[in-house]
Amino acid sequence: MAKYYDEIPESLIEWVRKQHMFWVASAPLGPGGHVNVSPKGTADCFHVVNSHRVWYQDLSGSGVETISHIRENGRITILFHSFEGPPRILRLYGIGTVYEYGTQEYESLIPPETRKPGSRAAIAIDVYQCQTSCGYAVPIYDFVTHRTQLLRSFDLKESHDRATTSTEIHPKGLKAYWILKNLSSVDGLPALQTAPDSKVPCPSTFDKEGPRPKLHRLSSRDADILSTTGAALAVGFAIGALVATALPRILSATGYFSIRA
């Protein structure tokens, strides 16, 4: 059963800090506009200031819908749900504010040592209502690790920017990507406004030598075992079917059934 709160309860704040991902939902005012839902999963991007205010580090991507929608109407909803442990869904309803890369507000929230590669804004949300619901339909998953492909990709783009002077925009750099992809939403609403022109250098704190998560795949040995086992089961099934079909005829031909009768 859903419950509503005027602020985020302390017990839920601790739960939020343990979650590995969250979802962001926003929409334009126009009835023909695209409603956006985005998954966010990079470690240490979401932060709780207090029971009425949260913020997260917004990383670059080919879309920029959340920033556009907040600039137009401010509405935003954050969704958390349990993948492990007791079921739970949590929604934070709020009014968002965008602090772009290079602004004083951004720098106060995201100092160089905590900035992620590709970080383009800090999205702050003033929460006016909090809702919990059962979450009984959410599957149970085991968390393995966070992916690093996005961070590696944008760290490479930022390395191009670092190799140029402050007045140049490298065609393969992050700022060139912002100009190409992040100036407006799919509906044509304005998005990034100052970040592409910022003269603040992108710091390099990403560990390029760190581990690269891999999907779990069967080793060649395990695959051979499964293949051999499957073949053996198939042969056994075929032999069993053949015996089941032929045995009555053999017994009948030898007179076994008539003797027993």
CATH number at residue 188: 2.30.110.10
Greatest alpha-carbon pair distance for the chain in Å reads 104
**Residue 256 within a domain:** no
C-alpha pair distances (Å), 130 with each of 28, 38, 90, 126: 22, 19, 7, 11
Side-chain-facing half-sphere of 237: CA atoms under 13 Å = 6
> How many folded domains does the chain comprise?
1
Q: What is the arithmetic mean of pLDDT over 44-70?
A: 97
Q: Please give the pLDDT value at position 248.
A: 61
Instruction: Indicate the average pLDDT of the chain.
Output: 88
C-alpha pair distances (Å), 256 with each of 241, 243, 244, 246, 251: 21, 16, 16, 14, 5
Residue 67 has pLDDT above 60, yes or no: yes
Q: What is the distance between the terminal CA atoms of the chain, rounded to a whole angstrom? A: 69
The least confident of 115-124, 153-162, 228-237 is: 228-237
Type of residue numbered 100: E
The domain containing residue 178 runs over which residues? 3-197
149-203 tens-digit pLDDT:
999 999 999 999 998 876 789 999 999 999 999 999 999 999 999 999 998 888 8
Report d(CA 78, CA 130) in Å as an integer: 10
Type of residue numbered 179: I
Residue 85 has pLDDT above 80, yes or no: yes
Residue 120 tokens, joined: 């383009």
Question: What kind and span of H or E run contains 119?
Answer: strand 119-133
Report d(CA 112, CA 161) in Å as an integer: 16
pLDDT-based confidence at 1, cuts 50/70/90?
Answer: confident
The least confident of 66-80, 89-103, 167-181, 238-252 is: 238-252
Task: Provide the pairing of β-strand 46-50 with 53-59.
Answer: antiparallel
**Residue 60 within a domain:** yes
Percent share of the chain, pLDDT over 90? 71
**Residue 212 within a domain:** no
**Residue 48 within a domain:** yes
Q: What is the arithmetic mean of pLDDT over 222-234?
A: 58
Note the pTM of the prediction, 2 decimals.
0.81
pLDDT-based confidence at 231, cuts 50/70/90?
Answer: low
Residue 194 tokens, joined: 């100052």
**Residue 228 within a domain:** no
pLDDT-based confidence at 259, cuts 50/70/90?
Answer: very low
